[in-house]
Every structure is written in structure tokens, then in C-alpha cells.
């Protein structure tokens, strides 16, 4: 399709009479690889005849193939949106829908309110933590159900991971003036060095089955909140190597996107819920590498758009500023932040988990929950009721030791990956606290204890209220509280020096500031 043919096609598809259903007006949206026409109750997506190496739509046969792939693959996530592949054909001077011979192909989709897209919700100030957490659970479930890459295929190998990162730099470089290359080269060197260090982990991840057929393009503009439910659309159809990836790479795009939009707290909330649902903490050492890679994908796309004709001066300046912002974001991911090991201390019902969840958002910390990890060890869902008696079932001494050992192991992974870690458990016994104290010493990071003193009557009231809702991972009951009061061991003088009191009026923002002061 040459430029004249493309212009005729665009002109035809912008006419309401082109369509075989009621259309009052047509709105056109253009990206670097497609045109989308919003017409009545439907949307029609045409692929541009471009070849960027990682993507090749240069022939009509290829565009037809990838339209079919787009339909097939996106029906995994949004079957109600992806309806059919339509032929556009007939006279090249006057293209018509459903006509022959074919001139072009379009993916027909059910239209939904653009205001439901997460990028629009965020811009309107309407994106909330509960929606982000719902997406985290949804994506963790999709990842769990996704096909695992065969070991005989190259997907997820060090070469398959490193090649797209190298392509980003190679495609950006010729589009920049010489004065712009220094920062790009610095990032490329970091990317190469980090990839080499991570090569054994890339191999381990593939062997363990974490390379799966993912979405590949999980960012806010490809997500929608419809009928109080999460919805993903517009996955990668044009390049298998960009779709068969590590699940951590898949979620890294959204965490990066929220960072870029100044919503790092929402990104951390998404990440922590995803990790809690999936249990995939072993992927944490890869996250920053993949976040930097995703930022560079965005930088590359912006550069490719800058190189295309038709941009006015304002659009050019806007895209150039966007490119620099993505480069700066990628550069931030190369830095090693201050970190600490933070443990909670308090009885059931003292508010540890709710506060730790908010604090993790503010501190950029990994939030580990004992209730979730205890149940994971026993093959139970987070909100399942174990029906365990006091000191029995999943609460025996042996089960308690296994739970705290697991928390220690996961905390070690998080700290080694250069994240602050909050371990959310009662820590009522000194041996439990000492287990994490030794880890902090080994990792050479500060240990902080968050103490939650709450009167017994208030604890009883909260536990009754929590039991009535039935949606909390904790199985703390009034009987458990009595048992805890009997067994708890007070903080030593040394421990008190490392303790921050979380009073009823304390806020996560205030405490995050105190923690930052202590560890920086």
C-alpha cells in the first residue's frame, strides 16, 4: 500500500457511509503502527505498511496474517471486544467494506467508552488502589493459566532476552544527534553488564517455567475498567519473542508506566499484590532490568514517531520531551536505592497488615504477609479458612517455624534485589525476631521494628468485625488473641532502640519519612 492508496483508504474510512451499520461520525486515532477508526458501536484497526525489524507489516499477506493473530490472541483476554477480521476491497479509487478483491484488512472490535481506559481514569483522578489490585490478581491468574514455553524453543533464553534490548538502542541511535548519544550509550553499557550478570537467572527462570505466552504490552492505555471488572486488550501479536516472555517482564511495563506518570505508589501496590497472588518473588532481581527495558521501548516508539512525516512543530517538541523523560526514567532504574529490613510487632487485630500495605506504597518496599505465605506453604488460597485448632493444623510449632523461615527466605531475595522489605507478622517471640535480625546483619542493612500497641478491648472489637467480613487472609480469632497474650515476649532494650511506635494517629506518610531519615 503506497501513500496515495493509504490516503484514499483513510479518506474512505472516515466517511460514515463506508460502514454497514449506523454511524453518525468517525474518529481516527493514529499510532506509529496502525490507524484506528471509531465508528458507531465499533472500532476498526488497520495496520500500517511498515517494517521496523521487530515488526513487519510490509505486505498485504502479512497484514492479513497479523490481523488474524490479533483476533486470536486478544480473545484470550477480551473475547467480548474482538469480533472479526473484515476485508476492505473493490476499486482502489473507492475502497469498500466487505468488497473483493481485497485491498486491505481490518480488525473489527466492539467499542467501549474511552473514559474506561486506565490512562484516562488516571488523568481524571479516578484510578484507585482497589482497581490496581484487581488487575494484579487478574494478571496473576492469566499468567498462571498461560502456556509455558517449550524448552526446545529459544523464548526466554539469554539471547532472546538481550536481543530486544539491543535492538532498542540500535534503532534509537541513528535517530538522534551526536550530542544526545552520551546518556544513551551509558544506559546501553548498563544494560549489557546487567544482562550478563543476570544470565544464570534467565536460564533458571526458563527451566522453572516462568517463560509463558503473555500479553506483552501491559500498560495503562491497553487496560480498561468495565462493569467493575478488569479488562486487558491489544496484546503483542506481531512478534512471538516479545510475547513469549518472563511474566516479570510482562508486569514490569505497567509498573514502569505508573512510575512515568508520577504514580509510583500505585505501581508498588500493583507489584505487591501481584507478588502476593503469584508467589513469584524469585523474579524480583529481574524487575529493574525489565523496567529499564520497558522505558527504552517507549523511548524507541517515541523516536520512531518523531521520524515519521506529518508532525507539526508542537507535536515534535512534545515527543522529544517525552523521549527525554523515558531516558531519564530508565536511568533512575540503574541506581541502587537505600534499603532496610522492617518487621512488624503486634497482636492479631492491631492493624499491622493495613498499615504495612500503605507504608510499602510510600517506601517502595516489598510487602511480605505471614498469613498469605503460611497458607501458600499448605496449598491454601489466601482467604481460605483452614479450620485449624489452636496450636494445630497450619499453626503447629513446626508450621510456625516453616512460615517464619519462608518469610526470611523471601526477605533475603527482596533485599538482595535492592528493595526495602516489610515483613508483616506478629513477631511476638524473640526467636522469630532474631531470625530476621540475623538476616539484616548478613545483608548489612538496618533492622527496624514497627510496634503496634492497641488496648485489648479494641483488639477484641476489631477481630469480631473482621470475622464478620470473611475476606481477610488472617485467621486471628478471640481465642487466638488470648493465646498470643499468654505467649508474647516483650521487646528487649536493644530492640526498643530500633523500634518505631505506630500510634492510632500515625500515618504511613509520616512513618515513611522517619524510615527514610533512619536508613539514608
- pLDDT score of 478 more than 90: no
**The pLDDT of residue 481:** 87
Average pLDDT, the chain: 93
Can you give the pLDDT at residue 390?
Answer: 78
pLDDT given for residue 433 in this prediction: 97
Residue 198 banded pLDDT, cuts 50, 70, 90: very high
pLDDT of residue 475: 66
Strand 499-501 and strand 421-424: the pairing is unpaired
Percent of the chain clearing pLDDT 70 (strictly above): 99
Q: Given this model, what pLDDT does residue 305 score? A: 79
CA distance 32 to 48: 8
**Per-residue confidence band for 174, with pLDDT thresholds at 50, 70 and 90:** confident
Position 96 scores a pLDDT of: 95
Do the Cβ atoms of 345 and 428 come closer than 8 Å?
Answer: yes
245: enclosing H helix or E strand: strand 244-246
Residue range 63-103, pLDDT digits in tens: 999 999 999 999 999 999 999 999 999 999 999 999 999 99
Residues 392-426 pLDDT 10s:
888 899 999 999 999 999 999 999 999 999 999 99
Element (H, E) at 110: strand 102-110
- Phi-psi category of residue 437: left, alpha or beta, with phi > 0 → left and psi -120 to 50 → alpha: alpha
Q: Which residue has the higher pLDDT, 458 or 306?
A: 458
Say how far apart CA 268 and CA 420 lie, in whole Å.
Answer: 12
pLDDT of residue 244: 97
Which of residues 490 and 478 earns the better pLDDT score?
Answer: 490
In 208-263, where does DSSP find H-type helix? 247-260
Does the pLDDT value for residue 34 go beyond 90?
yes
Assigned C-alpha cell, 55: 515488526
- Give the confidence band of 520 by pLDDT, cuts at 50, 70, 90: confident
Residue 51 φ then ψ, to 5°:
-135, 105
Q: Tell whether the model's pLDDT for residue 306 goes beyond 70.
A: yes
Instruction: Please check the confidence at residue 472 and state whether its pLDDT lies above 70.
Output: no
What local confidence, expressed as pLDDT, does residue 124 receive? 97
The grid cell for 5 is 492508496
The pLDDT, as a whole number, for residue 312 is: 84
Asked if 165 and 296 count as a contact pair (C-beta separation under 8 A), the reply is: yes
**Section 256-284 average pLDDT:** 97
Q: What pLDDT sits at residue 471?
A: 64
Say if residue 215's pLDDT is above 90.
yes
Q: For 307, phi and psi rounded to 5 degrees?
A: -80, -10
Q: Which domains are seen in the chain, by residue range?
A: 3-111 (3.30.200), 118-332 (3.90.1200.10), 341-519 (3.40.50.300)
What percent of the chain is predicted at pLDDT more than 90? Answer: 78
Mean pLDDT, range 365-381, rounded to an integer: 95
pLDDT of residue 5 exceeding 90, the answer is no
Rounded Cα–Cα distance for residues 425 and 370 (Å): 5
> Where residue 317 falls among pLDDT bands split at 50, 70, 90?
confident
pLDDT of residue 403: 97
CA angle centred on 50, ends 103 and 165, rounded to 5°: 145
pLDDT of residue 110: 97
Q: Which residue has the cell 505497567?
A: 254
Could you give the CA distance from residue 31 to residue 232 in angstroms, rounded to a whole number? 18
Amino acid at each position: 500500500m503506497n501513500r496515495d492508496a493509504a490516503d484514499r483508504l483513510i479518506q474512505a474510512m472516515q466517511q460514515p457511509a463506508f460502514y454497514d451499520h449506523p454511524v453518525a461520525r468517525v474518529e481516527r486515532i493514529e499510532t506509529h503502527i496502525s490507524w484506528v477508526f471509531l465508528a458507531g458501536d465499533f472500532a476498526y484497526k488497520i495496520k500500517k505498511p511498515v517494517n521496523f525489524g521487530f515488526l513487519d507489516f510490509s505486505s498485504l499477506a502479512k497484514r492479513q496474517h497479523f490481523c488474524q493473530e490479533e483476533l486470536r490472541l486478544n480473545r484470550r483476554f477480551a473475547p467480548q471486544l474482538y469480533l472479526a477480521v473484515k476485508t476492505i476491497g473493490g476499486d482502489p479509487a473507492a475502497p469498500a467494506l466487505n468488497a473483493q478483491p481485497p485491498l486491505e484488512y481490518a480488525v473489527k472490535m466492539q467499542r467501549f467508552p474511552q473514559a474506561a481506559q486506565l490512562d484516562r481514569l488516571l488523568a481524571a483522578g479516578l484510578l484507585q488502589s482497589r482497581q490496581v489490585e484487581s488487575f494484579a490478581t487478574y494478571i496473576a491468574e492469566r499468567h498462571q493459566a498461560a502456556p509455558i514455553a517449550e524448552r526446545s524453543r529459544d523464548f526466554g533464553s539469554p539471547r532472546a532476552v538481550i536481543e530486544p534490548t539491543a535492538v532498542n538502542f540500535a534503532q534509537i541511535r541513528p535517530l538522534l544527534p551526536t550530542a544526545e548519544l552520551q546518556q544513551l550509550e551509558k544506559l546501553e553499557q548498563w544494560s549489557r553488564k546487567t544482562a550478563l550478570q543476570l544470565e544464570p537467572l534467565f536460564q533458571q527462570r526458563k527451566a522453572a517455567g516462568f517463560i509463558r505466552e503473555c500479553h506483552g504490552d501491559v500498560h495503562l492505555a491497553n487496560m480498561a475498567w468495565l462493569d467493575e471488572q478488569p479488562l486487558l486488550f491489544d496484546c503483542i501479536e506481531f512478534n512471538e519473542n516479545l510475547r513469549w516472555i518472563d511474566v516479570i517482564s510482562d508486569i514490569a511495563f505497567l509498573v514502569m508506566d505508573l512510575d512515568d506518570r508520577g504514580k509510583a505508589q500505585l505501581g508498588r501496590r500493583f507489584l505487591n499484590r501481584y507478588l502476593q497472588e503469584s508467589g513469584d518473588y524469585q523474579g524480583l532481581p529481574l524487575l529493574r532490568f525489565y523496567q529499564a527495558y520497558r522505558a527504552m521501548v517507549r523511548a524507541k516508539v517515541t523516536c520512531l514517531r518523531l521520524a515519521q512525516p506529518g508532525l507539526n512543530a508542537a507535536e515534535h517538541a512534545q515527543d522529544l520531551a517525552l523521549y527525554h523523560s523515558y531516558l531519564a526514567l530508565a536511568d533512575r532504574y540503574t541506581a541502587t536505592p537505600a534499603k532496610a529490613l522492617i518487621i512488624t510487632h503486634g497482636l492479631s487485630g492491631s492493624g499491622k497488615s493495613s498499615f504495612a500495605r500503605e507504608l510499602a506504597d510510600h517506601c517502595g518496599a516489598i510487602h511480605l504477609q505471614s498469613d498469605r505465605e503460611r497458607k501458600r506453604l499448605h496449598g491454601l488460597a489466601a482467604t481460605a479458612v483452614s479450620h485449624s485448632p489452636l496450636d494445630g493444623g497450619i499453626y503447629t510449632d513446626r508450621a510456625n517455624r516453616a512460615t517464619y523461615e519462608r518469610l526470611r527466605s523471601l526477605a533475603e531475595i527482596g533485599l538482595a534485589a535492592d528493595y526495602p522489605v516489610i515483613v508483616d507478622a506478629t513477631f511476638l517471640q524473640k526467636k522469630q525476631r532474631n531470625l530476621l535480625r540475623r538476616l539484616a546483619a548478613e545483608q548489612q542493612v538496618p533492622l527496624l521494628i514497627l510496634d503496634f500497641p492497641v488496648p485489648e478491648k479494641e483488639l477484641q472489637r476489631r477481630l469480631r468485625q473482621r470475622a464478620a467480613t470473611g475476606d481477610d487472609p488472617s485467621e486471628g480469632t478471640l481465642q487466638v488473641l488470648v493465646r498470643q497474650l499468654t505467649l508474647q515476649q516483650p521487646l528487649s532494650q536493644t530492640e526498643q532502640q530500633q523500634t518505631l511506635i505506630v500510634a492510632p494517629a500515625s500515618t504511613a506518610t509520616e512513618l515513611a519519612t522517619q524510615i527514610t531519615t533512619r536508613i539514608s
